[in-house]
Structure 1
């Protein structure tokens, strides 16, 4: 199982930090990863803290000193940009390789799912459900090359539970119009995983500029969007193949759908009933 990425470790560790150390964490996350390669003095200046505070912070994360922290940061960047081919080339013999494909895949998938749910923040999960369920405006969903598939799964479930849910269209004019209409009452749900996609990051910044809420599904290396997100849900990536696992992300999506159904209650049931009647009238199924 992969260790959490540096950005995610910093985010998780903030709860145990002093107020001054949290300032260092926020600077690192807001300009990740470049801020981590600055000098101790420059980082301290940007965070408005002392140099010893920066050193105490990296030691709290488990590093002997700042050079050790920066070396780990370089390794983290390699992991964040790893392609499936590179993942395959870097993998050594795996436990269970002598077993059947079924048994090997089951063992890896079970560990990945268990670790994902063990590490996901209950607060973030509840906040995600609250934002999506109570948004008085629109809920827009977008993702990348593969993660966009999971975004569509989320949207297709949510549209049965509440109004004004849409997958952000690919057509530039339609996408621009919907983004321009974003405001305080709206929520943008984004899926962004390693080899993070710049166009998705631009969506997050555009949403924040328009004061919309941003929910992010990402991996343990943490998309740069995390610094612009109100809620971050992370998932493990270990899979039987060199491709990052989609199963734990789908499990989180299904959990969010379950939470929204419970939160919306009778309103969701009534909407589903009306949708069934409309489908029957139209002879859809």
Structure 2
């Protein structure tokens, strides 16, 4: 998966002059809409000259500012892609044409395996260690309630994370389905809460609203999203991005699942003996009540 324009700008900040860095910060602060402002407007906001804005675009590797804006348009097209728009891309990428596909009895399986391996590997390479550590710290804090929120498909990821957490820590809650219960749930968000939001393209407005509301109440927000970043990421304390490449019109959630399992393992390790005792108690209760 190609890096976003914002990723490229952050990566090259150290190469820019002080004046050009002001331009870059203006672009990042209002990303992505700020990139579509006029050169004069950006120059005014950064307190620099118009030629400085143009030099910044050139230093970032673009022929001019319109070229930089065109790159962002292409990125936003990918960001809002749906299974229908991705269908043609999946059809054009035939298994036999994909380099690195493993040899299996069915070449389609080999192509799928190669994509999954690459996506998972890239996801783990790109996760910032401090972001992962911050997520572990928040989820392992016994003083905090944990709320998990997912969308059309990602509610499965939210449940997967939440069901694991409930086995070794208290106060883990799932966003209710019914409107009245959901309203009550959101009304009770508080300062010591951690809200984990899963939001992948096509992004769902209510997920951004929930993240914003949780942040307004003083709580912490963890967002799982794709490389193009859900709007909910703007309200997050921790953002964990995962790759979504697949050989079908649908984004793959396998890398996200792998990252969740790593997060669960690290959180349990952080909680330590108390988590282990909670697991044993849960097992005992389940056996006594005939649940297992």
Query: Is the Cα contact below 8 Å between 2:224 and 2:239 reproduced in 1?
Result: yes
Two-structure CA RMSD over aligned residues (Å) = 2.5
Q: Could you list the per-position Cα deviations for residues 49-68 of structure 1 after superposition, in whole angstroms to 9, with x for gaps in the alignment?
A: 66566556545543333211
Equivalent pair of 1:24/1:54 in contact (CA under 8 Å): yes
1:184 corresponds to 2:191: yes
The answer on whether the counterparts of 2:142 and 2:169 sit within 8 Å (CA) in structure 1 is: no
Q: Which residue of 2 aligns with 1:71?
A: 70
Higher alpha-carbon deviation: 188-197 or 8-17: 8-17
Distance in structure 2 (CA, Å) of the matches to 1:171 and 1:52? 55
Whether the aligned pair in 1 keeps the contact of 2:81 and 2:202 (CA below 8 Å) is: yes
Quick check: 1:140–1:167 contact (8 Å CA) kept in 2? yes
How many residues are matched? 284
Q: Which residue of 2 aligns with 1:212?
A: 219
Cross-structure match for 2:150: 143
- Aligned counterparts, 1:97-136, within 5 A: 97=97, 100-134=107-141, 136=143
Matching of residues 219-230 of structure 1 within 5 Å = 219-230=226-237
Deviating more after overlay: 22-31 vs 106-115: 22-31
- The DSSP-based 3-state class of the residue aligned with 1:187 is strand
- 1:5 CA displacement: 2.9
Distance 1:162 1:23 in 2: 45
- List gaps (5 residues or longer) in structure 1: none
The CA distance in 2 between the partners of 1:177 and 1:17, in whole Å, is 49
2:168 match: secondary structure: coil
Give the superposition deviation at 1:118.
Answer: 1.3
Task: Answer yes or no: is the 8 Å Cα contact 1:108–1:238 preserved in 2.
Answer: yes
SS at match of 2:248: coil
- SS of the residue 1:211 aligns to: coil
Closer/same/farther in 2, CA of residues 245 and 108 from structure 1, 3 Å limit: same
Q: TM-score, normalization: structure 1?
A: 0.89
Answering whether residue 200 of structure 2 is matched by residue 193 of structure 1, we say yes
Conservation of the 8 A alpha-carbon contact between 1:109 and 1:238: yes
Cα distance, 1:14 vs. partner? 6.1
2:283 counterpart of 1:276 = yes
SS of residue matched to 2:75: helix
Deviates more, 1:153-162 or 1:100-109: 100-109
Larger CA deviation: 18-27 vs 174-183: 18-27
TM-score (norm 2): 0.87
Report how far residue 272 of structure 1 moved. 0.5
Is the Cα–Cα contact under 8 Å of residues 8 and 222 in structure 1 kept in the other structure?
Answer: no
Alignment of 1:1-285 (within 5 A): 2-10=1-9, 27-29=26-28, 31-46=30-45, 51=50, 54-55=53-54, 58-59=57-58, 61-91=60-90, 92-94=92-94, 96-97=96-97, 100-134=107-141, 136-285=143-292
Quick check: 1:214–1:231 contact (8 Å CA) kept in 2? yes
Report the counterpart of residue 103 of structure 2 in structure 1: none
Contact 1:108/1:239, CA 8 A, preserved across alignment: yes
Conservation of the 8 A alpha-carbon contact between 2:138 and 2:144: no
Q: CA deviation at 1:205?
A: 1.0
SS of alignment partner, residue 160 of structure 1: helix
